Structure 1
Amino acid sequence: MNSQEQQQHTQVKYSEVSPFQISDGFRRNSRMEPVKTIRIFIAAVAANISAFAVGTCLGWTSPVAPKLKAADPVDSPLDRPITTEEDAWISSLVALGALVAPFVAGPLADRIGRKWVLLSSSLFFVLAYILMMVASEVWILYVGRLIQGFGVGFVMTVQPMYVGEIATDAVRGATGSLMQLFIVSGLLYVYAIGPYVSYFALQWCCLVVPIVFTVVFFFMPESPYYYAGKGHKSDALNSLQFLRGQSADVVQDEMTIIQGEVEEAMANKGTVIDLIRNAGNRKALIISAGLIMFQQLSGINVVLFNSQSIFESANTGLDPAVATIIIGCVQVGSSGLTPIIADRLGRKVILLISAFGMAVGLAALGAFFYVQQAIGDASNITWLPVPALVVFNIVYCIGLVHCHGRCWVKCSRRMLSPSPRRSLLPLAGYSASW
C-alpha cells in the first residue's frame, strides 16, 4: 500500500467514527468524576454532633455530683445534699434509658428515616436539661437522667447506621471513628466547664449542644439506603448527588448497587433463628457479645460518670477538677490516634494490649484505695491514681472502644438494612452495651 492509499484509508477510518461514539466517550470521561469526600465528612461531622451531646450526658455527673453532695448546697437546685444511694441512681439511670431506647429507635429508623430519628434525639436532650434546671426534688433529676438515656440510646443506635450508609468504602473506617472522638470531646467539654461554672450555667452550656446539632443536621440529606428501601429512587439519587458531589449520570452506577442490596435485603424473609443457624453469624454474634460484655465489665462507665469524685476520694494533692480534665484530654488524644494504631497492629493484637493495659491501670488504682483504707496512710503513693487512670483510658480508647465501635458500624450496615423484618439481634446488642 503506497502513501496515497494509506492516507485515503486513514480518512475513511476517521469518517467512520459516529457522533454517538464521541458522545459516549465524553460520557465515559464524565464517569471519572471524583467523589468529593469532603461532603461525606461534612455530613458525618454534622451527625456526630449528636455523639458530642452523648458525651455531655455521660460526663454530666462527674462535675455535678460534688455540687449535689455538698454539705452546704449553695450551688444546687435541691435544698439538701443527696445521699450516696441517690447519687448512684442519678449516675446510672442514663444507662437504663439507653438500654431500652434501641428497641424503639431501630424500627423508627426504618419507618421515618435515620435523619429524623437522629433529630428527634435532640428533643430528649433538651427536655432533660430543662428538667435539670427546674428540679427541686431528687425524683425530677431521676426523670431527667432517664430521658437523657433515651436520647443517648437513640443516637448510639441510629448514628452508626446513618454514617455507615452515607460513606463510601474508602472513607467508612475514618467516618466511623469519628463517633468515639466526638463522645470523648463531649466528656472533655463537661469536665472542663462543669467545675468552674454554676450548676445552672452548666445546664445551659449542655443545652446549647443539641440545639446546634438540630440546626446543622437539619440541612443534611437522608440516607440513600432509606430512600431506596422506600422506593423513592429520585430522592435517593438526590441524596447521593449531594453526598458525592457528582452528577446524576455518575452516581447512577452506585444507585444501582444500592438498589440491588436493598432488594436482596427485602427478599430475605429469614427469622432470628435462621440467622443464628449460619455458622458465620454465630461466630460474629459470639465475638460481638464478648466485646460488649468485656466493655461493660471493664468499669469504664464508673470512671466516666465519677471521675471527679474518684480523685476527690483519692486526695492526691492535685485539684480533682484538673485531674479530671487531664483524663478528658487523654481520651481525646487517644481516640484521635486510634485508627492509625489499630490499622498498623491489627484488631486482635490491639485488643489484647488493651485488655492487659486496662487490668494494670485498674489494679494500680485498686491497690491505692486498698492501702488508703486498710493501712490508713497512702501519702507515699498519692501520685498513683492519676497515671493509673491515664493508662486505663489510653488503652481503652485505643483498643476496646475502637473495635467495639467498628462492630456497631458493621452491625448497622449488615443487619439493620432496609427490610420488612427487624432482627432483634443487633438491637439486643445495642441494648446490652449499657
Structure 2
Amino acid sequence: MKNKFKDFSRLLSSIREEASSVPTSILILTTLAAVSGSYVFGSAVGYSSPAQSGITDDLNLGVAEYSLFGSILTIGAMVGAIVSGSLADYAGRRAAMGFSELFCILGWLAIAVSKVAWWLYVGRLLLGCGMGILSYVVPIYIAEITPKDLRGGFTAVHQLMICFGVSLTYLIGAFLNWRLLAIIGTIPCLAQLLSLSFIPESPRWLAKVGRLERSESTLQHLRGKNVDISEEATEIREFTEASQQQTEANIFGLFQLQYLKSLTVGVGLIILQQFGGVNAIAFYASSIFVSAGFSRSIGTIAMVVVQIPMTALGVILMDKSGRRPLLLISASGTCLGCFLVSLSFYLQDLHKEFSPILALVGVLVYTGSFSLGMGGIPWVIMSEIFPINVKGSAGSFVTFVHWLCSWIVSYAFNFLMSWNSAGTFFIFSTICGLTILFVAKLVPETKGRTLEEVQASLNPYQQVSNKEMNLAYDPVTELHA
C-alpha cells in the first residue's frame, strides 16, 4: 500500500512539473514584450554601419569624428550598466525597462534631427545608456519569470532578438536615409514602453520587496490557474528570507568569499566572450570580406544567413542539451574560426587564391559558433547565479565589465591589425581555447534547476535552509563544477 501511495505521489509530482513547464500565453507575451528591448539593443549596434556614408556626407564628418560617434555607444552603455542593477532593484524590472526606453527614444530623436556632430554624439550616448540598462534587465527579468525547464531557451531569445535587430537594421539601412532609419528605431522602443503596463512584475522581485501575496498571485498568473505553484512559491519565499538576512551588498561587497565562485563564473565568461574577438569580427567583418575578394553586401548577407539560424538553434537546444555542452561546442568553433582567419592572413602572400576562401570560411565558422552559445549563454548564466541580495550590484558590475571589454577590443583592434594581422587572430583563437578550459573546469550546469538551487550551490556560505541546500546539491553537477 505504501509503495502504491509513493508511486501515486511521484505521478502527481511529475504531472505538476510537466504542467509548470508548459509555457502559458501570458508567459510568451510577457517574454516578447521584454525582448522588444533586445531588438532595440541590436538596432542601436547595427545602426552605425549602414548610416556611415550618409552621415559623413551630409554633416561633413571625418573618419575620426565618425569613429567617435560609433564608439561613444559603449561609453554610454558603461554608464547605463553602472546604474542598471540599482535601478532594477529599487524601482523594479518593468520600471528599469521603461527608463531605458526613454533614454533610447531621446537618443534616436537627437540623432534624427542632428545638424552638427555634437547632437549625434549626445544621441548616441543616450542610446548607449539605454542599451547598458537593457543588457542587464532583460535577461534578468526573463530568468525570474520562467519555469526552470524553460528558463534557458526563453532567456536566450534575448540574444536572438539582438541578432534580428542588427540584421534588420543592416537590411533596412541599405534602402533608407539615415535620419529616417533613426526615426524607425523609435518604433520598437515605443512598442515596449506601451506594453510594460500590461505585463506582470517579476515575482522574485516582488518577494524581495516584501510583497509576498502579490508575488504568489503573479507567479500563479504566469504559470496558469490550474498549476500547483505551492512548492515554487515556498522556495522563492524561503530563499528570499534567507538572502535578506545577509546585508544588501554594494559592488565592493561582492568581493567576499561567499560570492567568489558566482563572481568568477559571471565575470570570467563575459571577459572571455569579449576578448575572444566578437567585436573585431562584427565591426570589421566587411574589411575582412573585401580583403578576401568578396563584396561587403554578399559577406554581410552570408553572416546573417549563418547567424540567425544558429542563434535560433541555440535557443532550441538550451534546455535540452544544457548550457555547458553548448558553451564547449561554441568555444571550440570560435577557436577554429579565428585560427582559420589567422591562417588566411599568414598565407596571403603564399596562396592568393586559397587565402580569401579561408578567410570567408573562418568568419562564418566563428559567427555561427558564437551565435550557437557564446553570444547568449553568458547572459543566461549571469541571470541565474547571483542571489537576490547581490543581484543588482553583481549584474551592474558584470554588465560594466562587458562594455569596458567591448570598448577595449574595438579600440585596440586596428592597432593590433597594423602590428600583425595573423598574430591578432591567433591571439583571439588562443583566448577562445582558454574559454574551453574555463567552461570545463568552473562553469556549472544550470539546466533544470531553480534559481534558488543554483544560487545555493554556488554560494555555500549563505545562510539558507537545509531543504534548499539538499535541493541544490547534485553530486554530478558539483563534480563538474
Shorter chain as denominator, the TM-score bin is: 0.7 to 0.9
Shift of 1:220: 0.4
Q: Give yes or no for the alignment of 1:41 onto 2:28.
A: yes
Alpha-carbon shift at residue 345 of structure 1 (Å): 6.2
Q: Which residue of 1 aligns with 2:175?
A: 196
CA contact (8 A) 1:94 1:146 kept: yes
State how far apart, in whole Å, the 1-side matches of 2:361 and 2:318 are.
23
The superposition leaves residues 307-352 of structure 1 with CA deviations (integer Å, 9 ceiling, x where unpaired) of: 44554x437343x234213312321111111145566766555444
What is the CA distance between 1:184 and its match in structure 2?
Answer: 0.7
Q: Contact 1:46–1:216 (CA<8 Å) still a contact in 2?
A: yes
Conserved 8 A contact 2:80-2:133: yes
Q: CA deviation at 1:408?
A: 1.9
Quote the residue 2:302 is aligned against.
326
Q: Which has the larger radius of gyration?
A: 1
1:17-28 counterparts in 2 under 5 A? none
Cα 1:274/1:177, change in 2 over 3 Å: same
Confirm or deny: 8 A CA contact 1:227 1:235 kept in the other structure.
yes
Q: Retained in 2: the 8 A contact 1:327–1:393?
A: yes
> Alpha carbons of 1:205 and 1:306: their partners in 2 closer, same or farther (altered >3 Å)?
farther
Counterpart pick for 2:225 among 236, 239, 246: 246
**1:286-317 CA-partner distances (Å, limit 9, x unpaired):** 33332211111122123334444554x43734
In terms of mean alpha carbon deviation, does 129-138 or 363-372 score higher? 363-372
For the pair 1:224 / 2:211, whether they are aligned, the reply is no
Which string of whole-angstrom CA distances, capped at 9 and with x for unpartnered residues, describes residues 359-382 of structure 1? 44334445556777x79x956644
- How far apart are the structure 2 equivalents of 1:270 and 1:110? 11
Secondary structure of the 2:233 match is helix
What residue number does 2:334 align with? 358
Counterparts of 2:32 and 2:393 in 1: how far apart (Å)? 29
| Stretch moving more, 31-40 or 165-174 | 31-40
CA distance in 2, matches of 1:324, 1:217: 34
Task: Report if aligned partners of 1:224, 1:240 keep a CA contact under 8 Å in 2.
Answer: yes
**What does residue range 269-288 of structure 1 map to in structure 2 within 5 Å?**
269=247, 276-278=255-257, 281-288=259-266
1:396 lines up with 2:377 in the alignment: no
Aligned pair 1:233/2:212, yes or no? yes
Residues 208 and 240, structure 2, Cα contact 8 Å, conserved in 1: yes
State how far apart, in whole Å, the 2-side matches of 1:310 and 1:84 are.
Answer: 19
Corresponding residue number in structure 2 for 1:54: 41
Whether the 8 Å CA contact 1:361–1:388 is kept in 2: the answer is yes
Is the aligned partner of 1:260 residue 2:247? Answer: no
Query: Cα distance, 1:168 vs. partner?
Result: 1.3
Q: How far apart are residue 270 of structure 1 and its match?
A: 7.1
Question: Distance between the aligned counterparts of 2:216 and 2:187, measured in 1?
Answer: 33
Give yes or no for contact 1:56–1:186 (8 Å, CA) kept in 2.
yes
Check whether the contact 1:65–1:309 (CA below 8 A) recurs between aligned residues: no
Q: Please tell me whether the aligned partners of residues 165 and 223 of structure 1 are also in contact (alpha carbons under 8 angstroms).
A: yes
What secondary structure, in the 3-state scheme, does the structure 2 residue paired with 1:101 have? helix
Number of the residue aligned with 1:140: 119
Q: Deviations over 1:175-231 (max 9, x none)?
A: 111111111111111121111211122112212111112223331011112222222
Shift of 1:261: 2.1
Which amino acid letter does the alignment assign opposite residue 56 of structure 1? S
Separation in 2, partners of 1:385, 1:218: 48
**1:273, 1:58 → 2: CA distance?**
31
1:150-165 equivalences under 5 Å are 150-165=129-144
2:158 counterpart of 1:179:
yes
The Cα of 1:148 is off from its aligned counterpart by 1.1
**Seq. identity, %:** 27
Please tell me whether the aligned partners of residues 153 and 318 of structure 2 are also in contact (alpha carbons under 8 angstroms): no
For residues 8-35 of structure 1, the C-alpha deviation after alignment (integer angstroms, 9 at most, x for no partner) is xxxxxxxxxxxxxxxxxxxx9x989944
Distance 1:296 1:422, change over 3 A: closer
Return closer, same or farther for 1:347/1:226 CA change in 2, 3 Å cut-off: closer
Q: Give, as a single letter, the amino acid of the residue that structure 1 aligns with 2:108.
A: Y
Q: Is the 8 A contact 2:314 2:371 kept in 1?
A: yes
Q: Distance in 2 between matches of 1:295 and 1:125?
A: 25
Distance 1:303 1:65, change over 3 A: farther
Q: What is the distance in 2 between the residues matched to 1:254 and 1:146?
A: 41
SS at match of 1:66: helix
Matching residue of 1:296 = 274
CA contact (8 A) 2:88 2:392 kept: no
Conserved 8 A contact 2:89-2:392: no
The amino acid of 2:27's aligned partner reads: I
> Structure 1 residues 399 and 233, CA, compared in 2 at 3 Å: closer, same or farther?
closer
* Counterpart residue identity of residue 331, structure 1: Q
Q: How many angstroms apart in 2 are the aligned matches of 1:253 and 1:238? A: 14
* DSSP-derived class of the 1:60 partner: helix
| TM-score under structure 2 length normalisation | 0.72
8 Å contact from structure 1 (residues 174, 339) kept in 2: yes
Separation in 1 of the partners of 2:110 and 2:47? 14
1:70-97 per-residue CA deviation (whole Å, 9 max, x = no partner) reads xxx2xx3x1x1x3332232222211111
Per the alignment, in what secondary structure is the counterpart of residue 270 of structure 2?
A: helix
Q: Is the 8 A contact 1:62 1:304 kept in 2?
A: no
Q: Distance in 2 between matches of 1:345 and 1:168?
A: 17
Residues 431 and 308 (structure 1), Cα distance of their counterparts in 2 relative to 1, 3 Å cut: same
Corresponding residue SS for 1:168: coil
- The residue type equivalent to 1:328 in the other structure is V
Residues in 2 aligned to 1:305 and 1:156: alpha-carbon distance in whole angstroms: 19
For 2:18 and 2:332, locate their aligned partners in 1 and report how far apart those are by CA, in whole Å: 47
Deviates more, 1:120-129 or 1:332-341: 332-341
For 1:211 and 1:355, locate their aligned partners in 2 and report how far apart those are by CA, in whole Å: 36
* Match in the other structure for 1:408: 382
